[in-house]
Amino acid sequence: MPGFGFSLGFTLFYLSAIVLVPLAALIIRPWELGWSGFWAEITQPRVLAALKLSFGASAIAAAVNSIFGLVVVWVLVRYRFPGKRIVDALVDLPFALPTAVAGIALSALYAPNGWLGAPLEQAGVKVAYTPYGVMVALIFIGLPFVVRTLQPVLSDLSRDAEEAAATLGATRMQTFRRVILPSLAPTLLTGTAMAFARAVGEYGSVIFIAGNLPMVSEITPLLIIIKLQEYDYAGAAAIGVVMLGVSFFFLFALNGLQAWIGSRR
Amino acid sequence: MRKTLILAAALLSTGAANAGNVTLLNVSYDPTRELYKDINGAFASDWKQKTGDTVTINMSHGGSGAQARAVIDGLDADVATLALAYDIDSIASKAKLLAPDWQKRLPQGSTPYTSTIVFLVRKGNPWKIKDWPDLIKPGVHVVTPNPKTSGGARWSYLAAWAYAEKAPGGNAAKAKAFVAELYKHVPVLDTGARGATTTFAQRGIGDVLLSWENEAHLALKEAGGDKFQIVYPSNSILAEPPVAVVDKNVDRHGTRKVAEAYLQFLYTKPAQEIEAKDFYRPRDASVLAAHSADFPKIALYTIDDVFGGWTKAQQVHFSDGGMFDQIYKPGQ
Amino acid sequence: MKPLIRPRSATDDHPLTKIVLSAVAVVFIALFLVMPLATVFSEALAKGWEAARDALIAPDALDAIRLTLIVAAIAVPLNMVFGLAASWCVAKFDFKGKNLLVTLIDIPFSVSPVVSGLVYVLIFGLQGWLGQDLRDHGIKIIFALPGIVLATMFVTFPFVARELIPLMTDQGRDEEEAAVSLGASGWSTFRRVTLPNVKWALLYGVLLCNARAMGEFGAVSVVSGHIRGLTDTMPLHVEVLYNDYQYVGAFAVASLLAMLALVTLGLKSLLEWRFAGEIAATHKH
């Protein structure tokens, strides 16, 4: 087979030029602070609070998406109802809609004078400009990851095992818990992890709705921007390196997970 | 490696624009969007009349600190028109793009117009906000941006501090307690002045907006005048947003002459008229007198009187671990 | 016995379950996806059709649209070529470090857009690695078109490759090997055999890549410099107008982007519908 040298060479060159060299520049930068300086930088209360919010809100959003994503997938694959094709197409909206557009739309929607914000405010729930706002934005951007990962697997899932379970007298719920869920679980986990990884770094859709209170609703990517504005390049890079490390970890874990799923199938 | 990279970059680059006409880039802070739109038109026709050349002025707006950082990182500003002197000082000290004594080059410390910090409240003033102490009444929510990133927010913080320190029986400790209490009433900390105004005016958050005087007037105008009203506290701070030519950039572009003329134009009568119309307090006494109805006289402290200048104020209050970091601990 | 509410078959859900789950799914989609979309259009038309149209034909808006198109026109084809090359070598050959390569290709996908912008500031910024040298040579990277293109390329880097790699891996290399053994050159094998096999997945990846390239905000915001009419892309222009009190204008430009998103979704659904079999394979990763 020809073309190996050329395609691999081009891939490596392009990968290095666009991704690896720039990331190397990022990774080198904070070490001018030394190890202790780096550690002090990323353990500041404000940085820790931002990391906690980013990871916490992303985890909650991913969990919400895993539950509702499963319901959406189930409905899309197993049921027939009018408008199903439209719902199916709409699931990808967060992939296609620019994050800044999502951000201003969500903040207009959930502000105290917005369509959803007003009734929620009356019920005593504040969403915009609170950590809940962050979660709403992250749920928005994460949903398609769960749905699109799970959908083909559920479509392919054979119903033989379900029928067998029903014949043996299992209720529908028991069948779901004991038969269906276990075979979906690895894929569900993959989709959820992807939604989580994407949510941790999300910026555009969150900043408009978060209110950006330090220690309360300030996400990590925004803190990087703020550090940059305070001329603290090393500090910004240090937080960037932490986020990058987490991304790496997740990618490896995900690829491992997928390899494992592949070997089981 | 570096040589190759630079060569590669050269291939990618569009290079500097070399059109026959003169182009200036004015890097400014958030609330001056409307002001410089008007000024630029007036200056372009003035310059055309005087020299026959066509000048185009490109604008970049953002938080004052963010804009200074962008210039330091290479945003090719011919002139910087920022919210406070410290930000232009940073361009001078960190990137050495202009001389440290830049402020002496134009009259009045290179500030062609001034402003101050006022309160914007909702129509009817339901919380009866009249002066600084009213801001920390239980239940009052105050909207102001983050002093770490916004110039206007730094002026607001210092105005509150100056009030408390200079009040009868006031001192630094009381000022610290007052400002700390004030920030406990802040539900949203936007990164820029314009974001804060949007939060207050469009999103209906908070009872009081600490705002630039010009920004408050603009919000009033935009909302149609029946939703908000402006409250002048008993005293506030004299905010002096400075302007400067960025030496190294204009010399590289060959635009020094027009850049300097642009900034001097800000001091002329027609420009001062425009500034007054956009609710910046003009330096020209006669223009100020003509617009006195728009600019109520209130006691204004200067940053030099109360804080010993910007470098010191920045160091004490806004540096990492400074006063603001000490007093602002939400969520605890 | 109430036959009406009994499941029709062993693997069918109770009708009540069906109704409840369907309702939950539809309400969830409506709340989280449809309402934000509807808000964009409703706010854009808050002051009538003319106001929205005027905002779109304002000079700054047209400049932003032009810049966005230029950026996408450079970034998307380059990433497409990369995606083809990367999937060719990953799918058709075995070599050491293949898994690492696949992981590295995925990095930009999970790196925060803000970090993607930051890296270019650290390299090309005046205080960065190459900044002063570049300035001495009169070269502008950040706060100009090249920086915006680079940041966009970084962010949209894996989109095409991610769609192609699993599909081409599934397809294996038998057909190509057959073509080569019959004397076809590498290039014509690629053009005549591989490309037709992956064209729909390629189109699909390019669509997503393009949507993201035109809509990227965080990364571009860091390297743009926000010079009106020069370095503001459409998403940045949305923010500018939003901060200018021009809400109608902001949402009008936003609605243009939203329409782009809807067109993307429409085309994508059409692709899935017409070529379901071929494309389903791309999802099996």
Answer yes or no: pTM beyond 0.90: no
Query: In angstroms, what CA-CA distances link C34 with A109, A232, C22, C38, C248?
Result: 11, 40, 16, 6, 20
Beta strand spans in chain B (E): 22-29, 55-62, 79-81, 113-114, 117-122, 142-143, 208-212, 228-231, 235-237, 243-245, 281-282, 299-301
Select from A27, A97, A190 the residue whose CB has the most chain C CBs within 10 Å, as the one to mutate to test that interface: A97
Mean pLDDT of B109-121: 96
ipTM of the shown complex: 0.86
Mean pLDDT of A79-95: 89
Exposed/middle/buried for C184, CB within 10 Å: 0-12, 13-18, 19+? middle
Chain A residues with CB inside 8 Å of C43's CB? 105, 108
Per-residue pLDDT tens over the stretch B94-103:
899 999 999 9
Per-residue pLDDT tens over the stretch C126-184:
988 888 888 888 888 989 999 999 999 999 999 999 889 988 888 888 888 899 899 88
Do residues C243 and A207 make contact, with C-beta atoms less than 8 angstroms apart?
A: no
CB contact (8 A) between residue A71 and residue C254: no
CA distance B6 to A26: 19
Question: Which token pair is A174?
Answer: 């028991």
Three-state secondary structure readout of chain C: CCHHHCCCCCCCCCHHHHHHHHHHHHHHHHHHHHHHHHHHHHHHCCCHHHHHHHHHCCHHHHHHHHHHHHHHHHHHHHHHHHHHHHHHHHHHCCCCCHHHHHHHHHHHHHCCHHHHHHHHHHHHCCCCCCHHHHHHCCCCCCCCHHHHHHHHHHHHCCHHHHHHHHHHHHHCCHHHHHHHHCCCCHHHHHHHHHHHHHHHHHHHHHHHHHHHHHHCCHHHHHHHCCECCCCCCHHHHHHHHHHCCCHHHHHHHHHHHHHHHHHHHHHHHHHHHHCHHHHHHHHCC
Search chain A and give the residue with CA nearest B191. Answer: A212
Instruction: Read off the pLDDT band of A231 (50, 70, 90).
Output: confident
Sign of CA dihedral B94, B98, B99, B104: negative
Which stretch of DSSP H or E encloses residue B216? Answer: helix B213-222
3-state secondary structure (DSSP) of residue B229: strand
pLDDT: is B174 or C284 the higher one? B174
Q: Measured between CB atoms, does A196 come within 8 Å of chain C?
A: no
- A207 has pLDDT over 50: yes
pLDDT: is A128 or B244 the higher one? B244
Which stretch of DSSP H or E encloses residue B165? Answer: helix B151-166
Mean pLDDT of A48-73: 95
CB contact (8 A) between residue B73 and residue C128: yes
The per-residue pLDDT for B330 is 62
Nearest to C60 by CA among C260, C244, C261: C244
Closest CB from A2, A71, A105 relative to C21? A71
Q: Measured between CB atoms, does B189 come within 8 Å of chain A?
A: yes
pLDDT: is C245 or B327 the higher one? B327
CB contact (8 A) between residue B198 and residue C146: no
The per-residue pLDDT for A183 is 86
Query: Smallest CA–CA separation between A217 and chain B, in Å?
Result: 9
What residues have CB less than 8 Å from B3, skipping those under 6 apart?
none
Quote the crossing angle between the two packed helices C98-110 and C159-171, to the nearest 10°: 150
Nearest to B189 by CA among B237, B149, B241, B231: B149
- B162 has pLDDT over 50: yes
Chain B residues with CB inside 8 Å of A232's CB? 320
The per-residue pLDDT for C2 is 46
Tell me the backbone φ, ψ of residue B237, rounded to 5 degrees. -115, 145
pLDDT: is B331 or A84 the higher one? A84
> Within a 10 A sphere around the Cβ of C104, how many other Cβ atoms?
21
Query: In angstroms, what CA-CA distances link C64 with B14, C18, C230?
Result: 17, 47, 8
Do residues C82 and A14 make contact, with C-beta atoms less than 8 angstroms apart?
A: yes
Q: Measured between CB atoms, does B226 come within 8 Å of chain A?
A: no
Tell me the backbone φ, ψ of residue A173, rounded to 5 degrees. -65, -45
Do residues B9 and C130 make contact, with C-beta atoms less than 8 angstroms apart?
A: yes
CA distance A198 to A190: 12
CA distance B242 to B258: 18
Residue with tokens 């979704």: C265
What is Dmax (Cα atoms) for chain A? 68
Closest CB from C127, C146, C229 relative to B58? C229
Closest CB from C81, C113, C273 relative to A201? C113
Closest CB from C89, C115, C187 relative to A240? C115
- B79 has pLDDT over 90: yes
Q: Measured between CB atoms, does B247 come within 8 Å of chain C?
A: no
Mean pLDDT of chain C: 88
Query: In angstroms, what CA-CA distances link C153 with A101, B82, C72, C76, C146?
Result: 20, 32, 9, 7, 10
**pLDDT cut 70: percent of chain C above it:** 93
* DSSP structure string for chain A: ---HHHHHHHHHHHHIIIIIHHHHHHHHGGGGGHHHHHHHHHTSHHHHHHHHHHHHHHHHHHHHHHHHHHHHHHHHHH---TTHHHHHHHTTHHHHS-HHHHHHHHHHHHSTTSTTHHHHHHTT---TTSHHHHHHHHHHHHHHHHHHHHHHHHHH--SHHHHHHHHTT--HHHHIIIIIHHHHHHHHHHHHHHHHHHHHH--HHHHHHH---TTTT--HHHHHHHHHHTT-HHHHHHHHHHHHHHHHHHHHHHHHHHHHHHHH-
Per-residue pLDDT tens over the stretch C252-281:
999 999 999 999 999 988 887 777 665 555
Domains along chain B?
2-111+240-267 (3.40.190.10), 115-239+296-327 (3.40.190.10)
Closest CB from C126, C137, C150 relative to B74? C126
Show which subunits contact A, needing at least 3 CB pairs below 8 angstroms: B, C
Residues in chain A, overall count: 265
3-state secondary structure (DSSP) of residue B58: strand
> Within a 10 A sphere around the Cβ of C138, how many other Cβ atoms?
11
CB contact (8 A) between residue C7 and residue A240: no
Chain A residues with CB inside 8 Å of B191's CB? 212, 222, 225-226, 229
Do residues A1 and C92 make contact, with C-beta atoms less than 8 angstroms apart?
A: yes
Task: Tell how strand B142-143 and strand B208-212 pair up.
Answer: parallel
CA distance B265 to B274: 11
The per-residue pLDDT for C3 is 46
Domains along chain A?
57-218 (1.10.3720.10)
Select from C71, C236, C237, C244 the residue whose CB has the most chain B CBs within 10 Å, as the one to mutate to test that interface: C244
Mean pLDDT of A151-156: 89
Least confident of B22-31, B226-235, C177-186: C177-186
Least confident of B188-202, C89-103, C121-135: B188-202
CA-based end-to-end distance of chain B: 50
Closest CB from B65, B149, B189 relative to A213? B189
Per-residue pLDDT tens over the stretch C13-65:
888 888 999 999 999 999 999 999 999 999 999 999 999 999 999 999 999 99
CA-based end-to-end distance of chain A: 29
Mean pLDDT of chain A: 88
Mean pLDDT of C227-231: 91
Name the residue type at position A251: L
Nearest to B318 by CA among B89, B150, B142: B150
Chain B, window 30-59: residues with a beta carbon less than 8 angstroms from a chain C beta carbon: 30, 33, 58-59
Tell me the backbone φ, ψ of residue B228, rounded to 5 degrees. -130, 165
- B215 has pLDDT over 50: yes
